[in-house]
Amino acid sequence: MFIAGFPAGAWGTNCYLVAPAAGEECVIVDPGHQAAAGVEEALREHRLKPVAVVLTHGHIDHTASVVPVAGAHGVPAWIHPDDRYMLSDPGKGLGRAIGQQLMGEITVGEPDDLRLLEDGAELALAGLRMTVDHAPGHTKGSVTFRTPAAGDVPPVFFSGDLLFAGSVGRTDLPGGDHSALLDSLARVCLPLQDETVVLSGHGPQTTIGRERASNPYLLQVAGAGADTTGADTAGGRRRGL
């Protein structure tokens, strides 16, 4: 598997291009704020041809470039139905103060070919198999994508803003739910193999094994009798929107 990634925009949101190998078809994950130029540069450098865009959630720092990127290449984009509304009205997903700051610098709307993700769906795109897991908490429609191991390549987990190296996504924006996020961590992340590579929406890559051993939020949900209904008491620095 070949993965090219770069941080984009005001929040350093990670955008990924995923392909079986350089020079082949690819899937673009989370072309966010100011990501279009970086996507085009990576496509040229690695001789990639996009066939789809997939979105981990609807926040504008992950979706702001979906319309120009999907439109330029005539490809579909995928999002969970619970976050679809943010494509046309991103301010509703950010709260009044943040939303008003951004509305003057972005173009909103849906791509021409928008498709909806379902929990447990198996996407066969660009010669890749990506499993979709609905993982609410950061937003109601947050999802993750995972690819299986292939030869010497370990499984890869695109965690969006569910799980970061050492932390998790914030839950204080509209649609956020801390209890739901803890449940998603337990249900989606804990069953993964330790060698699974985690490529998150912000920050450096990590592995499930590393996070299982040190991430305070995973330690919380993995602990005996962990309370996943209470307040945010695990600590840890969060990133992004």
pLDDT of residue 225: 44
How far apart CA 200 and CA 196 sit, in angstroms, is 12
pLDDT at position 111, please?
Answer: 95
pLDDT at 201 over 70: yes
Q: Give alpha helix (H) positions in 21-59.
A: 36-46
pLDDT on residue 223: 87
Q: Report the predicted TM-score, pTM, of the whole model to 2 decimal places.
A: 0.92
* Residue 237 binned pLDDT confidence (cut-offs 50, 70, 90): low
Higher pLDDT, residue 148 or 230: 148
Beta strands across the sheet bearing 206-207 = 122-125, 128-134, 143-147, 156-160, 197-200, 206-207
Spatial separation of the C-alpha atoms in residues 30 and 53, rounded to whole Å = 7
Q: How many angstroms separate the CA atoms of 135 and 147, rounded?
A: 16
Q: Name residue 5's beta-bridge partners.
A: 16
> Who wins on pLDDT, 104 or 165?
165
Mean per-residue pLDDT, 130-150: 97
Superfamily of structural domain 2-222: Ribonuclease Z/Hydroxyacylglutathione hydrolase-like (3.60.15.10)
Report the pLDDT value the prediction gives residue 202, as an integer from 0 to 100: 97
Give residue limits of the domains in the chain.
2-222
C-alpha–C-alpha distance, residues 14 and 11, integer Å: 9
